[in-house]
Structure 1
């Protein structure tokens, strides 16, 4: 059945009523993609905005499906015990929403799903070789208690993320999977969405996620808080850290003098997790006595943030 624009709930906020330094937030309000904030950091996605979200999700999921990934859906709520197994119940700090039910049991609104997916994969026992690598993804609402939520979808308390989790038997296989999924991300950002000139893949810290290898996809945005540097000598792009102010050096050619600096924001992150989660949950990939724990990776694209930052 065709959709008529005259039937859509299309509203906008007049330009004079919008006071923000973020151009993308201004445009999203002015063009009726989102409502004015219900409270700081919480917006309603309006019909036009929802159509854009749906189209972007379709692009991402189509490419993941082509790469042999399988879609599932995990609950947004998880018990405290699950997150305590990796010590992340406390490590996540105040950014993670926590709640207590009527039986005085503690839960969290999951900002990510490594614990739950590892527990699920373990419950299926040792996999057949034909099932390897295991590649499972979802596209769901996530929650984060941002200290200073602002600019609509750029930094909100609730957001949509596509998150993918992979399980391999060996480190080499896991690194191959890591490379494969990064190539899918690059195809999405550079070829399909045509963002090659504004999205840059940079080495990153793994933080509370853990693991020994991590990359961020940063997009140039004047309202963002991160900064990336482009080496004028070799054109390599890398993330600027606050403690590098007096010791900035290109990570590729060792140039330490000439850089272009851009404001940017993270729109995707990829991690090689080693065995951090598989060991915590005793998730093994074989029946022998050598404790062959899964080698894991995880990957995430901030769907709503990408739209806002674009």
Structure 2
């Protein structure tokens, strides 16, 4: 790794610190606005006020909010995301147990989005205003409009319940049963990939049309270069940064959309963990899951910055 790349990574990591602090403040602050007392949930409906007060003291919920935040933040920096108020299991252990199920469907959805969206975008851009272009753009617009969870239910009804090709719910360990894990993740990934395919198709089409209609490309045509060489060597090269940006945004959006998809397919992932924990007022688990997901998004953005520098060395000089 060159010194310039190391400086780029260092500068981006420095910029990450205030973003991460603001994210933790938002996570902690918003949960304080949620109605309900976790101590009362733990104590049960028949608990006395003295018992609830005792539990609040045991959990540190009687401290000022700013002290609770600093205590949680100091633990998060050390990798200690506290323990579940309901189960007593360390939050980080529970998150790491469920995270592979979430990441599997996210990366499968991202791979499908790129593998299908890029050819469709190229096909539409090279047939501007033709039948193929109108068909692709209309389908892409529909893909953006259709909710992921609704598509998930359609896929379950047709491919799982109707044809019996895929399981309706659940997940499997990728390390222990890789083929079964991929089989379980196929329908959720397809449901998540729909909007990603549509977004990549639309953005790539628009960017390619701009490049292919530029004076630079017209000059290449005048010099006698074949259309295929212009497209692959010059067109796609010039839109690579745009495509990379869109892929990064699709990843972040897909990661957030797993909450609904995991509910539809009953997948034991981080999304379903957040929903269950929020329902039970298990705030440390909610904070821990969101904190880990924020770290993943930040790592994704850092990777994109490094790829920017690799594709365009001028980016690393900024």
Question: TM-score higher than 0.5 here?
Answer: no
Q: Which structure has the higher relative contact order (CA within 8 Å, separation 6+)? A: 2
Higher strand share: 1
* TM-score after normalising by structure 2: 0.23
Task: Decide which structure has greater helix share.
Answer: 2
TM-score (norm 1): 0.24
